[in-house]
Amino acid sequence: HFYTLRYTTMAVLRPSFTTNPGATESPGVDAIISALKMMPHIEGGYFIETDRSPDIVSSPFPIKASSTSELTPKRPGFDPTLRNTSTTIHYFLTPNGPQGGFHRNKGRTVHTLHKGRGRYVIIHANELGKEKRIESFIVGPNIEKGEKLQWIVEGDKYKASYLLPDEDGGVHSQGLLISETVVPGFEFCDHDFLSRQGLEELIGVQKAQELGWLLSP
Ligand code: GUN
């Protein structure tokens, strides 16, 4: 138990790449961004919505006052009582846009790896207890080492992710390319970022200091 605890202290979670807004990516990384027509995501990295189901369901989420806030971007004609049954995006972390900051969605998200490696950090904010459980795992192609090809994040949990080199101890990456399907479909009013104060309240000041680099700026 001692070794498990030591190994899973937040101190082992360190960035391998640093955010460089405006820096040119390698030609291979640029080619992926262009071919898939991705754009910068507010969480960090790049994305494109590839599917929004035409089928509509009643929203299972209570409507909060914040969903009518002027700060919340809304799609034209958006009805907050309805949702598309699902949406799917490509999401891409790159050597110069290597991390997605802590945020949560109300819907559950199914993630699928296409290429590259990364680490996910999940804070189980919706579970009981004063200090919330923190989970971390590697997504990547090395399934024999326990890296995941598919991973599910249930609604109301905070999630952050960051790019890892292709090999442990290496420096090379052409990015982490995944797909994410959210059910019911994504809306900004179902999405929020975690603040530093929120992080401290969830996991305590000390762990929050060690994970603060994964907060969105
Ligand atoms: N628009 C901005 N961010 C997102 C997202 O994460 N998913 C979808 N489907 N659309 C978005």
The rounded mean pLDDT for the chain is: 91
Say yes or no: CB of residue 181 within 6 Å of ligand 1: no
**Measuring CA to CA, how many Å separate 213 from each of 17, 31, 156, 179, 210?**
12, 28, 21, 24, 7
Note whether residue 127 is domain-resident: yes
Note whether residue 68 is domain-resident: no
What is the atom index within ligand 1 of the atom nearest the CA of 52?
A: 9
Say yes or no: CB of residue 51 within 6 Å of ligand 1: no
Distance between Cα 49 and ligand 1 center (Å): 6
Say yes or no: CB of residue 91 within 6 Å of ligand 1: no
Say yes or no: CB of residue 46 within 6 Å of ligand 1: no
User: 106-157: per-residue pLDDT in tens?
Assistant: 999 999 999 999 999 999 999 998 889 999 999 999 999 999 999 999 999 9
Considering only residues 197 and 131, tell me which one the structure prediction assigns the higher pLDDT.
197
4 pLDDT above the threshold of 60: no
Distance between Cα 113 and ligand 1 center (Å): 18
Residues contacting 49, CB < 8 A, separation 6+:
87, 88, 89, 186
Report the nearest-CA residue for atom 6 of ligand 1: 186
Report the nearest-CA residue for atom 2 of ligand 1: 41
pLDDT for res 78: 85
- Per-residue pLDDT band for 6 (boundaries 50, 70, 90) equals very low
Which element (helix H / strand E) includes 158? strand 158-164
Note whether residue 170 is domain-resident: yes
Note whether residue 72 is domain-resident: no
Note whether residue 69 is domain-resident: no
Distance between Cα 186 and ligand 1 center (Å): 6
Q: Which residue range(s) make up the domain with 56?
A: 2-62+81-214
92 pLDDT above the threshold of 90: yes
Number of domains the chain is built from: 1
ipTM of the complex as predicted: 0.92
Note whether residue 27 is domain-resident: yes
In degrees, to the nearest 5, what angle opens at C-alpha 200 toward C-alphas 195 and 206? 130
Burial class (CB in 10 A: 0-12, 13-18, 19+), 66: exposed
Specify which residues 181 forms β-bridges with.
88, 110
5 pLDDT above the threshold of 50: no
Note whether residue 178 is domain-resident: yes
What average pLDDT does the segment 168-184 reach?
97
CATH number at residue 201: 2.60.120.10
Burial class (CB in 10 A: 0-12, 13-18, 19+), 190: buried
Judged by DSSP in three states, 33 sits in helix
Note whether residue 120 is domain-resident: yes
pLDDT for res 84: 97
Of the candidate ranges 1-5, 56-60, 68-72, 92-96, the one whose mean pLDDT is the lowest: 1-5
- Please count the helices (runs of H) and the strands (runs of E) in the chain: 4, 13
pLDDT for res 1: 39
